[in-house]
Each structure stands twice: as C-alpha cells, then as structure tokens.
Amino acid sequence: MLAIDDDLRAVVAEVRAGTRDAVLVVRDDALLARLGGTLRDARGAPVAGAEVELSATILDTGRNGVAQTAHGTRTDAGGRFALENVPWRNLELVASGDELERLAVPLDELDVTRALELVVRRRYRVLVEPARGERATHYAVLDEAGRELRVDFTLHDLDGHRERVPVLDQGQPVHALVPEGARTLVLFEGESELRRLPLVCARES
C-alpha cells in the first residue's frame, strides 16, 4: 500500500488483503529540512527560470501514471533553487521548462545532504520557411549519429510530438522545438527524401 498526503509525504507498507483500520506511520526522517542546488545546461551555463518540483506517481497502470506534484519553485538568474521542509522518499525531483528537455531524477539516487548539481538539455526553436517552389512537405532532425530525434511542435493549436514535422499548417510555417543534439535537417516530400542541411543549435548572445 502506498499513501501520499497533500505534501507528498509517502508511506509504503505491505497490508494483507481484507485488512481493516490499517495504520501507516510516517517516519521521523520523511521530511528534509532543505533541498537545494544549481541547474546547468550541457555547456555548464546556469539555467534561469526553470521549474523545479517534486513529483510522485499516485496511480500506475504499467504504461501511464497520474502524477501529483508539490513543493515547486523556479531557478534564479544563477540557476539556483531551494526547497524547504520537503519529503524525499519515493519521489522524483523534476526540472522542466518551455525550452528544456524534462529531467526527472529519483531523490533516492541523489545525495540530498549537499547542494545538488543537475544538468538539463536545452531545446531550440525551429521554424522552416519554404522558398517559392519548394516541394518539401515534412522535415526531420538527426543527431550526430544519424538517428531521428523527437520534435515537439504545435499543429492546429494542439501540441504534439513525433519524428516528422509538417513544414506548413494551414499555409503557415510550423513552430517546433528540437533537442540540442540535433545536427542535420532533412527535408521530405511525402516519404521521399529531398535533401539534407547542416543544423547548428545555439542560443542568441
């Protein structure tokens, strides 16, 4: 049995089927006075404005879970974050943002007695504008090894993700977010590859 309160303090216990009036006790060390650290990208630069929160899966069907979050904060200009009086058993520390790949790390795998150093991967905004006469209907991005990467995008006012992205949506270029590991842009007409272009992902200075 797993019990989680509104503050995500969790208790896990074996309870025999049919048991009534089961009593679950929260351990004295279930709360951590302070959990803090710094969030950086793969180049070592601090990541400001990212959401950092605790997450617990309260329903798990084997394929999908229902996540419950609490104790959230945002990183400051130096990428620093701090949470106080937080539970740390059976939970994940999650860092996310519009231009970040979601990072989820079980707290049990972290040394919570010292300042944490977490590394996240950035995502970059891509807008492919076809030239007059361009026949491309879709595009994909590849990593250095030539593997297609998942791309997040908005289509018909709905968010989606897949490896192939439409070039146009109702006559307008499609805004997409690609992982920072993208190195090549591949243009397709239907299933036929048209050409490949080098892709450099970098932040504006």
DSSP assignments along 85-137, one per residue: EEE-SS-EEEEE-TTB--EEEEGGGS-TTS-EEEEE-BEEEEE--PPTT----
pLDDT tops 80 at residue 95: yes
Query: What's this model's pTM, rounded to 2 decimal places?
Result: 0.69
188 vs 14: CA distance, rounded Å: 55
Mean pLDDT of 80-98: 86
pLDDT tops 80 at residue 24: no
Mean pLDDT of 31-43: 90
Phi, psi of 108 (to 5 degrees): -65, -20
pLDDT tops 50 at residue 61: no
pLDDT tops 70 at residue 64: no
Question: What's the pLDDT at 146?
Answer: 95
Question: What's the pLDDT at 170?
Answer: 86
Q: Which CATH number fits domain 28-120: 3.20.20.220, 1.10.1040.10, 2.60.40.1120, 2.60.40.1940?
A: 2.60.40.1120
The mean predicted confidence, pLDDT, of the chain is 82
- Ranges of each domain in the chain: 28-120, 123-198
Per residue in 100-138, pLDDT (tens digit) is: 999 999 988 899 889 999 999 999 999 999 888 889 999
